[in-house]
């Protein structure tokens, strides 16, 4: 995955949401891991929040981020499993304009190499709404590391070749301008 060093790095404003009934900022290792990786890559952690595993609460935060022009991307951790309280993908589907199917597929492919068939329990999802990228990751710190280190680090770097998500940002709302 080549980085073209002749191109400028463009920092992305990324918000982090932990979905959990039991975590707070002090015990939120996955959210902390994402924030450290985001900032370590040169991006800005624009917000960091925690909400309970409730679809309405998750949707509310996502809609706030989508409406905030200073947030380019939102990443959630937690609530992507298959138990009754896991409702993050349902909240995402309420707000996404376009799903990025390849994100979930790629995440599960990479995860399979590490945890085998257990990866089928992940409903990781990605998409875009109102020009804001949104990605839902599992709640484990390992899954957050894998998603960031192996996918998002590269796709949120404007220098990544042959293509990346950052270079598409100016065109994400073309349909709005045409209307």
Span 71-117, pLDDT tens digits: 999 999 999 999 999 999 999 999 999 999 999 999 999 999 999 99
pLDDT of residue 178: 60
Give the tens place of pLDDT for each residue, 125-177. Answer: 999 999 999 999 999 999 999 999 999 999 999 999 999 999 999 999 887 76
Omega before residue 23 within 30° of 0, cis: no
Gap between the terminal Cα atoms of the chain: 37
- What sign has the CA pseudo-torsion 25, 28, 31, 33? positive
pLDDT of residue 179: 57
């Amino acid at each position: 995955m080549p980085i073209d060093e002749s191109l400028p790095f463009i920092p992305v404003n990324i918000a982090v949401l932990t979905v959990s009934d039991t975590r707070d900022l002090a015990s939120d290792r996955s959210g902390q891991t994402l924030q450290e990786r985001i900032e370590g890559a040169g991006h800005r952690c624009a917000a960091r929040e925690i909400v309970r595993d409730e679809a309405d609460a998750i949707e509310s935060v996502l809609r706030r981020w989508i409406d905030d022009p200073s947030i380019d991307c939102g990443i959630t951790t937690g609530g992507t499993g298959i138990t009754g309280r896991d409702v993050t993908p349902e909240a995402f589907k309420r707000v996404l304009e376009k799903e990025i199917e390849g994100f979930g597929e790629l995440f599960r492919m990479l995860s399979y190499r590490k945890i085998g068939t257990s990866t089928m329990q992940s409903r990781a999802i990605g998409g875009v709404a109102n020009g804001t990228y949104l990605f839902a990751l599992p709640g484990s710190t390992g899954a957050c590391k894998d998603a960031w280190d192996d996918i998002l680090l590269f796709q949120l770097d404007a220098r990544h070749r042959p293509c990346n998500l950052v270079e598409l940002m100016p065109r994400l709302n073309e349909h709005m301008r045409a209307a």
